[in-house]
Structure 1
Amino acid sequence: MAFPKDIGIIDCMLGIPEAEDRAEWFAPFRPLIKDAQTLQQFAMPAQYMFKDIPQTGQQDDYIKWTVDQMDKHNVRKALVGWNENETSYRAKELYGDRFFFDLPCDPNKGMEEVRRIKRIHAEVGLSAISVFPSGTLPQVAINHKYMFPLYACAVELDIPILLNVGIPGPRIPMETQKVEHLDEVCWFFPDLKIVMRHGAEPWEALAVKLMLKWPNLYYSTSAFAPKHYPKAIIDYANTRGADKVIYAGYFPMGLSLDRIMSDMENVPFKDEVWPKFLRDNATKLFKL
């Protein structure tokens, strides 16, 4: 049950910073935020949830700095969000063997967004697309009709979609991310591969029930320090869900890799679950 140190880890949520200032993390949903503390004091939108947000400092090359942090903890590959900017293009060019990419999407843009997904996929080879339902503006629920073109596109391209589920960390409404919304989507799109992000709390037991029901529904551990992994998820991984639970961190957005890997020592996964959790499930799902 001990955390193995010899597995080359695949991290399914990691960021490449572009500057010390993290204000861009607020940009897509800043108009939804109403409380003064978030707007005036927080360096990241859910700062109240994290004790020691990693400090990147001023770096000459943030991409190399990120790879150095990965090397320190045997993270061999990482899924990062694709932005049409110099950082993303340089990361792919210089470290194409270390990074694979998801494209954050806005369902409010309809077919314009579908065309963008297909264009970028043809150009760079996306491994997934992603949506933060509570962070869309206006907010769009997981099972809303505006999401369906994105789901159809993901099926057509045969790539997964990553969805934030559960109560969002930022102080914005939660309705769009209720786990129950997944049931309709999994029913209507049986070929769609969906990865739940950011915990599914307080509906993690429902998330397990839905994963038992729907073969293409998965769970990633993003934005949670391992000491806070929900018990229902650990129990599921150790029983019928060994192929459905995938490691994802939250570096450098809210957690350091030092913190994550230190906490990982105490996660009570069975020996046979660790390789699947840390590497094999992601390899299969994202076709690495």
Structure 2
Amino acid sequence: MAMPTDVGIIDTMVGFPKPDRREVYKFLAPHLRDKESLEEFRFPAQYMFKDVPPDLEDNVDPVAVVVDNLDRFGIDKAMIGVGPGRDDADRALKDFPDRFIPSASVDPNQGMDAVRFLVEMHERYGIKAATTFPAGVQVPINDKRYYPIYAKCVELDIPIFVCAGVPGPRVPMAPQKVELIDEVCWFFPELRFVMRHGAEPWTDLAVKLMLKWPNLYYSTSAFAPRHYPRAIIDYANTRGADKIIYAGYFPAGLTYDRIFAELPGVPFDDEVWPKFLRDNAARVLKIDQ
């Protein structure tokens, strides 16, 4: 049950520190109503986290900060978001092409523009995944607006990482009910669908659905290892060793120091660790092939 130190970890959720992280979450403003979220929080789910990584100091290179963290903690590759306004990601991919995996965030409210954007990002960057935040855009996981995006992911042969469960930001949770995933997996059996951000409080249902659908997966993004749901750990140690994928939450809410101080305490079986830390992500993202 000891965590190995020679795996070459793939982290499926990494960002770049900013001088003011509130800029990153501007897209949420139309859906926020409470004063703390609108005026006080540095990021919308701040109330849920302690020891949040600091904002970037002046004259500090954000790419260098991330690469230093990857090196210190044995992370071989990190999945990052690319697209307009993400200059740090552009530079990271140019300077360290073997360290970063490009992905693109899509908003189904944009209709066919979202589909065209996905194609553009695939042609320009060779993205390995799409990502989306249903509660952030207030579109349910199984809404018809998502279907063209799911179809395009199948055509491009890339997975989609989708936030599921009660969201941290104070926006309505209904778009992220885990039960909605069932219909999507039924209609798109070729789609590789990865749940993000916990799926709580429906983790038992998430496990049931992963048992049911071959191409449904779960990533541990936004959870400190000491808070990984017990249902997910038990599933990984039994029938789900190939379904659970490591993801951190740096620098949004967790430091790597905290993650890797707690990670060895997760009671995964020996054979689960390399799959969790690297192999499952490599297979779903179709890298190392």
The TM-score, its normalising length taken from structure 1, stands at 0.97
What does 1:54-93 correspond to in 2, within 5 Å?
Answer: 54-58=53-57, 59-85=59-85, 86-93=87-94
The CA deviation at 1:8 is 1.0
Q: How many residues align?
A: 285
The CA deviation at 1:56 is 4.2
The residue number in structure 1 matching 2:172 is: 173
The CA deviation at 1:247 is 0.1
The residue number in structure 1 matching 2:184 is: 185
The CA deviation at 1:141 is 0.2
The residue number in structure 2 matching 1:219 is: 218
Q: Determine the C-alpha separation between the residues in 1 that align with 2:217 and 2:102.
A: 18
> Secondary structure at 1:10's aligned position in 2?
strand
> Secondary structure at 1:265's aligned position in 2?
helix
Q: Is structure 2 residue 121 aligned with structure 1 residue 120?
A: yes
What does 1:9-158 correspond to in 2, within 5 Å?
Answer: 9-17=9-17, 19-58=18-57, 59-85=59-85, 86-136=87-137, 139-158=138-157
Q: Which blocks of at least 5 consecutive residues in structure 1 are unaligned?
A: none
Q: Determine the C-alpha separation between the residues in 1 that align with 2:56 and 2:123.
A: 35
1:183-236 Cα deviation digits (max 9, x unpaired): 000000000000000000000000000000000000000000000000000000
Identity of aligned residues (%): 56
What does 1:231-242 correspond to in 2, within 5 Å?
Answer: 231-242=230-241
The residue number in structure 2 matching 1:270 is: 269
Deviates more, 1:109-118 or 1:203-212: 109-118
Q: Determine the C-alpha separation between the residues in 2 that align with 1:30 and 1:234.
A: 35
Deviating above 3 A after TM superposition, structure 1's stretches of 4 or more consecutive aligned residues are none
> Secondary structure at 1:209's aligned position in 2?
helix
Q: Determine the C-alpha separation between the residues in 2 that align with 1:81 and 1:9.
A: 18
Deviates more, 1:33-42 or 1:192-201: 33-42
Q: Determine the C-alpha separation between the residues in 2 that align with 1:217 and 1:76.
A: 24
Which residue identity lines up with residue 65 of structure 2 in the other structure? W
> Secondary structure at 2:265's aligned position in 1?
coil
The CA deviation at 1:65 is 1.4
Which residue identity lines up with residue 14 of structure 2 in the other structure? L
The residue number in structure 2 matching 1:201 is: 200
Q: Determine the C-alpha separation between the residues in 2 that align with 1:201 and 1:267.
A: 18
The TM-score, its normalising length taken from structure 2, stands at 0.97
> Secondary structure at 2:165's aligned position in 1?
coil
